[in-house]
């Protein structure tokens, strides 16, 4: 008799359906969801009316482009105008069972509400995603994300639904986390890439032999681009002797909306939950498949607060090429950066993730880095601080020159490079702050 854990897919019929079926399914969901938003959310009714659009006009997925874009400022503004959750909400409050909140860079938290059905749909999706990354009921999964009003917290229930033994660790000091991982012989954890790195380094410093004393096989990461930068992933994998799976979440929708399958070739997208557009930030026109652009999302099922054409600020690219795992959903080829993080140096767009890839690829560097941008005599100057690896015995000038050459060839930007001793830069314990923009009045 076959048992559940021998299955390759969580939901084979859905996950391997032909592309045409995905498109059909999404169109049906979109029509219904836009109708729900229009009928039940005062904001959407007014906004669609003002734009002269109506859900009944949607006959193809492209028709979504006729609807107005929204962004985080709209969410924040409407929440302040109609507290506590704003008038994008499309259900009576008695139907809301859960909220998460996210502050973003400006500090005013916005709440993301869920109905009971939204919540259980979400957790089922998390289980599907964990399954695609190879997590099985035999696993012991240690969830090392914050639970407090944080959208990543409940994702642990997806692992539990799948049948894995789930350890709700949360964000505890790293020594304590290592104790938990060792004591219960956890086989999988979820954290940020910089924290996975930091935790591994802490284990080494504490004299823990990661491969013989710990049992971690899989590390799920999210919250920073690192998990999709091959050089970063490979170095964390080497440190832990474990496979890294990059996940992407958006606090205003789900804890995780996309994740790597065991092929680790892009992040499979939750296409039955969220419609993706990738647009040129300037013109608003869609970019060609595979090109980088800003990701705009429309929820397809989440009824408590539908999001219609939400600008994420994330710069991404996608492919619809079939994956060798057999799943047919579109794959995100990584988040290349956030618009907020993008630096414009002498007119050239530079993402910290491009620089990270260089620092992580060359093993004469520790992989830690910091970027400082200044403006001298109206000219932008980028300085990259990197640490020389303890094993490097050559001279610093040669090392700096090598970094400058690589940077020039990858980004087209020239920079000053400062070589520091290992362990000089502060280690990130959560989301890494690696950019210091000292320019004044850059955008004015």
Which residues form the interface with Zn ion (CB under 5 A)?
A: 261, 263, 323, 325, 327
- Check: CB of residue 416 under 8 Å from CB of residue 371: no
C-alpha 260/C-alpha 128 separation (Å) is 11
Q: Which residue has the tokens 């959208």?
A: 151
Q: Which residue has the tokens 């924290």?
A: 195
* Least gap, CB of 260 to Zn ion (angstroms): 8
* Least gap, CB of 270 to Zn ion (angstroms): 13
CB pairs under 8 A, 24+ apart, for 99-103? 99/149, 100/149, 100/150, 100/151, 100/153, 100/154, 100/251, 100/255, 101/149, 101/251, 102/150, 102/151, 102/251, 102/252
- Check: CB of residue 191 under 8 Å from CB of residue 144: yes
> Quick one: 129 or 298, whose CB is closer to Zn ion?
129
- Check: CB of residue 274 under 8 Å from CB of residue 30: no
* Least gap, CB of 10 to Zn ion (angstroms): 13
> Quick one: 70 or 325, whose CB is closer to Zn ion?
325
> Quick one: 325 or 330, whose CB is closer to Zn ion?
325
* Least gap, CB of 189 to Zn ion (angstroms): 22
* Least gap, CB of 226 to Zn ion (angstroms): 20
What SS3 state is found at 325? coil
Neighbours of 375 (CB within 10 A): 14
- Check: CB of residue 316 under 8 Å from CB of residue 274: no
- Cα dihedral: 227, 228, 232, 236 (round 10): 40
> Quick one: 26 or 327, whose CB is closer to Zn ion?
327
* Least gap, CB of 3 to Zn ion (angstroms): 23
* Least gap, CB of 281 to Zn ion (angstroms): 29
> Quick one: 261 or 315, whose CB is closer to Zn ion?
261
Spell out the alpha helix ranges (H) of 110-243.
116-132, 156-162, 174-183, 193-205, 210-213, 230-240
Residue 290: phi and psi, rounded to 5, are 90, -20
> Quick one: 12 or 81, whose CB is closer to Zn ion?
12
* Least gap, CB of 268 to Zn ion (angstroms): 6
For 94-107, give the secondary structure using H, E and C. HHEEEEEEECCCCC
> Quick one: 258 or 261, whose CB is closer to Zn ion?
261
* Least gap, CB of 261 to Zn ion (angstroms): 3
> Quick one: 68 or 290, whose CB is closer to Zn ion?
290
> Quick one: 91 or 325, whose CB is closer to Zn ion?
325
C-alpha 13/C-alpha 17 separation (Å) is 6
């Amino acid at each position: 008799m076959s048992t559940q854990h021998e299955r390759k897919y969580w939901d084979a019929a859905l996950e391997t359906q032909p592309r045409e079926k995905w498109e059909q399914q999404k169109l049906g969901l979109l029509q219904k969801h836009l109708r729900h938003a229009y009928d039940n959310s005062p904001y959407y009714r007014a906004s669609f009316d003002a734009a002269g659009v109506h859900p009944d006009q949607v006959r193809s997925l492209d028709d979504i482009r006729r609807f107005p874009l929204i962004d985080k400022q709209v969410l924040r503004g409407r929440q302040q105008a109609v507290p506590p959750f704003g008038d994008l909400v499309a259900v009576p409050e008695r139907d809301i069972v859960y909220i998460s909140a996210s502050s973003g860079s400006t500090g005013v938290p916005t709440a993301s509400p869920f109905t009971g059905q939204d919540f259980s749909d979400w957790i089922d999706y998390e289980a599907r995603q964990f399954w695609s990354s190879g997590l099985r009921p035999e696993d012991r999964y240690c969830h090392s994300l914050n639970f407090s009003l944080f959208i990543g917290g409940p994702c642990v229930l997806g692992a539990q639904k799948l049948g894995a033994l789930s350890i709700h660790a949360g964000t505890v000091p790293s020594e304590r986390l290592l104790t938990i991982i060792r004591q219960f012989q956890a086989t999988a954890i979820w954290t940020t890439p910089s924290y996975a790195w930091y935790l591994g380094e802490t284990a080494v410093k504490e004299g823990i032999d990661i491969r013989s004393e710990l049992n971690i096989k899989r590390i799920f990461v999210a919250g920073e681009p690192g998990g999709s930068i091959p050089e970063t992933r490979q170095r964390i994998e080497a440190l832990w002797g474990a496979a890294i799976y990059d996940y992407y979440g958006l606090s205003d929708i789900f804890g995780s909306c996309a994740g790597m399958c065991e092929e680790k070739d892009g992040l499979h997208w939750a296409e039955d939950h969220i419609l993706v557009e990738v647009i040129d930030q300037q013109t608003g026109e869609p970019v060609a498949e595979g090109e980088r652009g800003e990701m705009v999302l429309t929820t397809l099922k989440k009824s408590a607060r539908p999001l219609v054409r939400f600008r994420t600020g994330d710069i991404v690219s996608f492919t619809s090429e079939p994956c060798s795992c057999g799943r047919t959903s579109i794959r995100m080829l990584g988040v290349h950066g956030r618009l907020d993080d993008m630096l414009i140096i002498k007119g050239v767009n530079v993402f910290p993730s491009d620089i990270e890839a260089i620092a992580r690829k060359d093993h004469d560097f520790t992989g830690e880095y910091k970027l400082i941008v200044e403006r001298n005599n109206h000219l932008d100057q980028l300085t990259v601080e990197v640490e020389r690896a303890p094993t490097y015995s050559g001279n610093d000038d040669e090392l700096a020159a090598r970094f400058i050459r690589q940077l020039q060839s990858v980004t087209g930007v020239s920079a000053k490079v400062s070589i520091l001793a290992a362990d000089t830069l502060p280690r990130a314990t959560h989301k890494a702050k690696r950019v210091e923009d000292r320019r004044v009045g850059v955008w004015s």
